[in-house]
Structure 1
Amino acid sequence: MTVSDRYFGSTPPSRGKDIAHDIDFTPVEAADGAIIPLRITAHQPCPACATRTDEKAARACTTCRGEGRLIREQHTYKVRIPAGIKDGQKVRIRELGGPGKHGGAPGDLYVTVHVIG
């Protein structure tokens, strides 16, 4: 075991959760492949209106503008989609999923491609 393999605390490192995402492609992009920007957004419940039972009051919330959630973090990645991908096919992109705990590896991102047009 090297120093970089160590963790501190009572809980060992664990891998993060996998995330699934859908993207739309044109037939040309699907045939030729593409490098695309892919934005992943993580949300959290709005602290101002999450506990409100009155639906009208929640819709009028000025903190979240009636959505009931706030953006916690947002990342944009450039990902390569291989040439010849088919409608409905999934692509696994390693380690762009949820963060691992206590130094564990992040999960994977599974992108489902939809060919439109």
Structure 2
Amino acid sequence: MNKNFTLFNVLPLVIGWIGIKYGINWLTIIATTVIVSRSIMSLILSAKLHSSLSHLSETVRSRYRAVLRNPQLTFSVAIINMISLALWGQEESLIILAIATGAYFSVRHQLLRKT
């Protein structure tokens, strides 16, 4: 796991669950804010990548393919985040996370499908 993955995925989950366990609501709010912010950034990045797919060179495309080949970890974290948000009572944040996850996997599929 690299430090960006830990910072934006694992740390907010840990902070949120600590906030729930000890009744510290502001920790849960911070964790939710980080998760939603990451989802919005992912959605923007997916849209930009989708619009530039046809203009990517083959070397750049092959680099993206190497990164996107194994989606299990990303999908698992997305599901864990969705379940956590639901259990924290942050259902209104679920929609942006679901849309961002769908957009990510859509772009991933298109990128891996193009040869």
Q: What's the TM-score bracket when you normalise by the shorter of the two chains?
A: under 0.3
Structure 1 or 2, whichever has the larger Rg, is 1
Which has the larger helix fraction? 2
Higher relative CO (CA 8 A, sep ≥ 6), structure 1 or 2? 1
Give TM-score scaled by structure 2 length: 0.27
Give TM-score scaled by structure 1 length: 0.27
